[in-house]
């Protein structure tokens, strides 16, 4: 059940990011100065943490999507769904730890 909940939450968060991304990119048609002002607002540690959360949501959503495909289309998928979920968690952690070290170092040192 937690996998289902986290998949839905990550999907909604990604959707809201894409909505905001389209809006802030559309400001370039209003004026380059407005666009530059919006982008300048993103250059702070809070947004850096938000970017880290976004990457975490996208990576989890993608990996869990592959797990869902395996459960749906592999005959042994339902039998092994708990192991597949923990595999998603392990792979997500293995991918996110190096990313977070690098990203957060850049966020808090520049």
Whether residue 48 contacts residue 107, with contact meaning beta carbons closer than 8 Å, is answered with yes
Average pLDDT, the chain: 92
**pLDDT for 47:** 92
Whether residue 68 contacts residue 7, with contact meaning beta carbons closer than 8 Å, is answered with yes
Whether residue 41 contacts residue 73, with contact meaning beta carbons closer than 8 Å, is answered with no
Output DSSP code: residue 31.
-
**pLDDT for 60:** 96
**pLDDT for 41:** 87
Q: Which two tokens stand for residue 67?
A: 């797990």
Per-residue pLDDT tens listing for the chain (110 residues): 788 899 999 999 999 999 999 998 999 888 889 999 888 888 899 999 999 999 999 999 999 999 999 999 988 888 988 999 999 999 999 999 999 999 999 999 97
């Amino acid at each position: 059940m937690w996998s289902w909940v986290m998949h839905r939450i990550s999907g909604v968060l990604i959707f809201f990011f894409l909505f905001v991304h389209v809006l802030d990119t559309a400001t370039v048609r209003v004026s380059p100065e407005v666009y530059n002002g919006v982008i300048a607002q993103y250059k702070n540690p809070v947004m850096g943490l938000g970017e880290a959360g976004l990457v975490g949501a996208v990576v989890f959503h993608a990996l869990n999507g592959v797990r869902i495909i395996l459960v749906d289309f592999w005959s042994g998928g339902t039998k092994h769904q708990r192991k597949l979920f923990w595999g998603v968690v392990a792979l997500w952690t293995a991918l996110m730890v190096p990313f977070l070290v690098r990203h957060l170092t850049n966020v808090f040192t520049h």
